[in-house]
Structure 1
């Protein structure tokens, strides 16, 4: 693995039909780091991730990987460097967990290359890391939502790319499995240098796990930088329309957001 890949959006405008979702966006993903994208619903987070992975063509601007536009690269070539876990992926009916995770090896299969021991090892490692090895022979459509989500994560891990894009990877997971998955991705980043970009809804998990935080508001970049620099009371109000108090997490030292509801007031002692 390498930390030298550079992924950036340049003057990027995205949309569906007549609707513009992301406008005039410029950002750079720090190589070898964990970047988390946050923002209110329908602000363009998932749309941005789709464009970065070549699934959605820009209306204006471009997405660039190592100096080349991703939308001009062959899909299989790109998939050897960049993996995507989309929001709510669909599995073929009746497919087993082992077969689905094995599909993560497809970009590494060529006309003359066949499945080999490296593919077996990659799949076994991904199943073990996501604690889904005991589900290998089960049909994916028989699993619970949390089990399916871990299997999808195993598939993208089996792809063994230098960059990973994950859209809400903790969806359907209880709090224990949320932490396990985010710890797993952190280990992957720290030990292999994998660049990770993910969308998270939980601001406190985002602040805890991100090296680089991107806040979108109304399809535009509101702020980008360290969690401490981005997760401020002013930013939470501007991005989410929510009053909050930001304190230091006593365990991680990262910012911790405490929402202020309409029926509560912030204590002056916090």
Structure 2
């Protein structure tokens, strides 16, 4: 159960070349919960996730897993606890779906152990959970974007880690599969206690599916808390530069953001005309 694991950033500064993307960030991921990271493009969401998974070394500060710096942990030890689905993963040319998903079991192998029945079971369960079992013998590079995304999620599930980081897991998916994937991650959290941290662009899906929201703005933490605390009209205006109305979602009871643009906004005269 991941309630025994803690993941946090302490005074974290990240960047590329001369550009600083994240500046002196402090945050803690609630263990055993679903967290969504939201913010405008280029605010540092994916950069933060990369550093939390040890793919990007900090310029200053540190990422800490169970009191230990992730960048000092052996890669295989970290991979048995923390899994990552990056934003644009690349599959080896010609690899089949079953073989790719099977690579999620590598952290559980060693030079002294062979593939076991439990590895087959983990791969089969991941394929079934993502509705990709029928694709098992097909080459990954022959699949549609949505199918490939579900296969990558299956590989992450086969890894069976206590913490799972996902960078835009609903990319390329239609509305039905977006909901299926987020339902799947919720099931994983509720049945196994898996801590899920995901970057999402859709604020309303983030508010519906996450227990905890982290809103970034300008490389800094703007707000963190429950969806009711974070998804407000002021936050949307500050973080996204967008006027909106936030109401209660009639389906989930969570906050629902309605954007206000320059067009297609109902005016008081429109209401009077409709009534007349």
Q: Classify the TM-score, shorter chain.
A: over 0.9
User: For residues 58 and 2 of structure 2, what CA distance do their matches in structure 1 show?
Assistant: 27
Cα–Cα, structure 1 residues 266 and 63, in superposed 2: closer, same or farther, change >3 Å? Answer: farther
Contact residue 245 and residue 266 of structure 1 kept, 8 A: no
Alpha-carbon displacement from aligned partner over 1:127-153 (angstroms, at most 9, x marks no partner): 000000000000000000000000000
Encode CA deviations 1:5-60: one digit per residue, 9 max, x unaligned.
00000000000011000001000000000000000000000000000000000000
Q: In the TM superposition, what whole-angstrom CA distance separates every residue of 1:43-81 from its partner, at most 9, and x where no partner exists?
A: 000000000000000000000000000000011100000
Gaps in structure 2 of 5+ consecutive residues: 272-276
> For each residue in 1:73-99, what CA deviation from the matched residue of structure 2 results, as whole angstroms up to 9, or x when unmatched?
011100000000000100000000000
Q: Per-residue deviation at 1:3? A: 2.0
1:198-224 residue CA offsets vs partner (Å, 9 max, x unmatched): 000000000000100000001100000
Q: How does 1:67-86 map to 2 (within 5 A)?
A: 67-86=67-86
**Cα distance in 2, alignment partners of residues 267 and 4 from structure 1:** 53
Asked if the contact 1:260/1:266 (under 8 Å) is kept, the reply is no
Indicate the residue corresponding to 1:54 in structure 2.
Answer: 54
In the alignment, structure 1 segments of 5+ residues that lack a partner are none
CA distance in 2, matches of 1:144, 1:85: 18
Rounded Cα–Cα distance in structure 2 between residues aligned with 1:114 and 1:247 = 54
Which residue is 2:43 aligned to?
A: 43
On the 8 A contact 1:3/1:162 being kept in 2, the answer is no
Q: Deviations over 1:201-259 (max 9, x none)?
A: 00000000010000000110000000000000000000000000000001111000000
Q: What is the CA–CA distance in structure 1 between the aligned matches of 2:128 and 2:54, rounded to whole Å? A: 29
Which residue in 1 is equivalent to 2:225?
A: 225
Q: State whether structure 2 residue 178 is matched by structure 1 residue 187.
A: no
Shift of 1:265: 3.7
| CA-atom RMSD in angstroms | 1.1
Contact 1:127 1:133 in 2 (8 A): yes
Aligned position for 1:7: 7
The alpha carbon displacement at 1:266 in A equals 6.1
The CA distance in 1 between the partners of 2:26 and 2:185, in whole Å, is 26
Answering whether residue 145 of structure 2 is matched by residue 145 of structure 1, we say yes
Q: Secondary structure at the match of 1:91?
A: coil
Q: Which residue of 1 aligns with 2:259?
A: 259
Q: Equivalent residue of 1:207, what SS?
A: helix
SS in 1 for 2:147: helix
Aligned pairs, how many? 269
**TM-score in terms of structure 2 length:** 0.96
